[in-house]
């Protein structure tokens, strides 16, 4: 695996992790976008598994995480807008340059999947996607997290043991989408909501059984907005024996997931 530093239009930089196949430069490349508060390096086990299945892989970095030049702190403001308008196009341009002969497929995890959808089609988790009464807890938790972050200056996820550190604006954007189920993003003047319905690319939506952060109802809610797309939906039991949250444990227990991705890409 190699790394390449990319620079967005607003000057922010980050490294992209690249798995190339010199023996087969036309092999499909999967562009992986991480979950909220998660470093790109955390996806190394998944990238290795995908490479072992014959794919080329590029793992992007979300703004404020890992190798990003933007450091989370009080007064540092960025949200969905900056990541969708600056970081996503920068990542995809770098992938196109690194893999000019390869078909490209987005593989987004949680927030990474949502941002990728915004970029490619111009959807969010909505609290009704969680089963009752958990839905009310999720709704309250994100509104409280957004309010706390606005006062504190940023979201100190590592200190409190929930996700990672992130911008208060990201929490505000997420709290809005959790509350409304729509992509009227506070950090952007663009109304992203109508765009997913125009997306016509084939889509594979995967829900991990037992994942409290991205339950099947939430994943189906996002897929349901892609009304013009050919959507394949699967629920997989992964990460059941691994340590940590089911939201992340599947990254180290990905064999069944990689097999489904291989089948989907071959058919697509």
pTM of the model: 0.83
pLDDT 10s digits, 149-168: 776 676 777 777 777 788 89
Q: Give the Cα separation of 107 and 109 in Å (integer).
A: 7
In this prediction, residue 1 carries a pLDDT of 82
In this prediction, residue 120 carries a pLDDT of 83
SS3 33: strand
Q: Give the Cα separation of 53 and 185 in Å (integer).
A: 37
CA distances from 212 to 152, 195, 196 (A): 26, 27, 24
Q: Which of 161-165, 177-181, 205-209, 264-268 has the lowest mean pLDDT?
A: 161-165
- Rounded mean pLDDT of the chain? 87
Helix or strand run (H / E) with residue 95: helix 88-98
Do the Cβ atoms of 146 and 161 come closer than 8 Å? Answer: no
- Cβ contacts of 224-228, under 8 Å, gap ≥ 24: 225/123, 225/196, 225/197, 226/117, 226/121, 226/123, 226/196, 226/197, 226/199, 227/196, 227/197, 228/197, 228/198, 228/199, 228/200
SS3 101: coil
Do the Cβ atoms of 155 and 172 come closer than 8 Å? Answer: no
In this prediction, residue 259 carries a pLDDT of 95
List Cβ neighbours of 122 (8 Å cut-off, separation of 6 or more). Answer: 190, 192, 195, 198
In this prediction, residue 155 carries a pLDDT of 75
Q: Give the Cα separation of 223 and 120 in Å (integer).
A: 14
Return the top range by mean pLDDT from 11-15, 112-116, 221-225, 235-239: 11-15
In this prediction, residue 124 carries a pLDDT of 43
Higher-confidence position of 134 and 88: 88
pLDDT 10s digits, 35-47: 999 999 999 999 9
CA angle (194 as vertex; 206, 38 as ends), nearest 5:
40
Report all structural domains of the chain as residue ranges with CATH numbers, in order of start.
Answer: 2-124+195-267 (3.40.50.1820)
């Amino acid at each position: 695996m190699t790394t390449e530093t990319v620079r967005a239009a607003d000057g922010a930089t980050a490294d992209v992790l690249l798995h190339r196949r010199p023996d087969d430069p036309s092999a499909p490349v999967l562009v992986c976008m991480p979950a909220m508060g998660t470093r790109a390096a955390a996806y190394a086990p998944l990238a290795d598994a995908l490479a072992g299945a014959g794919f080329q892989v590029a793992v992007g970095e979300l703004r404020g995480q890992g190798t990003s030049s933007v450091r989370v702190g009080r007064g540092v403001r960025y949200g969905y807008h900056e990541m969708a308008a600056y970081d996503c196009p920068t990542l995809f341009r770098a992938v196109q340059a690194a893999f000019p002969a390869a078909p490209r497929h987005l593989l987004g995890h949680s927030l990474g999947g949502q941002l990728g959808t915004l970029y490619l089609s111009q959807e969010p988790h909505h609290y009704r996607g969680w089963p009752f009464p958990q839905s009310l807890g999720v709704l309250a938790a994100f509104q409280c997290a957004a309010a706390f972050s606005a006062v504190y200056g940023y979201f100190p996820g590592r200190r409190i043991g929930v996700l990672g550190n992130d911008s208060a604006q990201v929490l505000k954007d997420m709290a809005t989408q959790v509350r409304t189920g729509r992509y009227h993003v506070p950090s952007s003047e663009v109304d992203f909501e109508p765009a997913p319905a125009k997306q016509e690319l084939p889509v594979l939506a995967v829900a991990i059984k037992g994942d409290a952060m991205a339950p099947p109802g939430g994943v189906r809610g996002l897929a349901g907005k892609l009304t013009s797309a050919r959507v394949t939906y699967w629920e997989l039991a992964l990460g059941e024996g691994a340590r940590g949250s089911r939201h992340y444990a599947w990254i180290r227990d990905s064999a069944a997931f990689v097999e489904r991705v291989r089948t989907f890409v071959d058919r697509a």
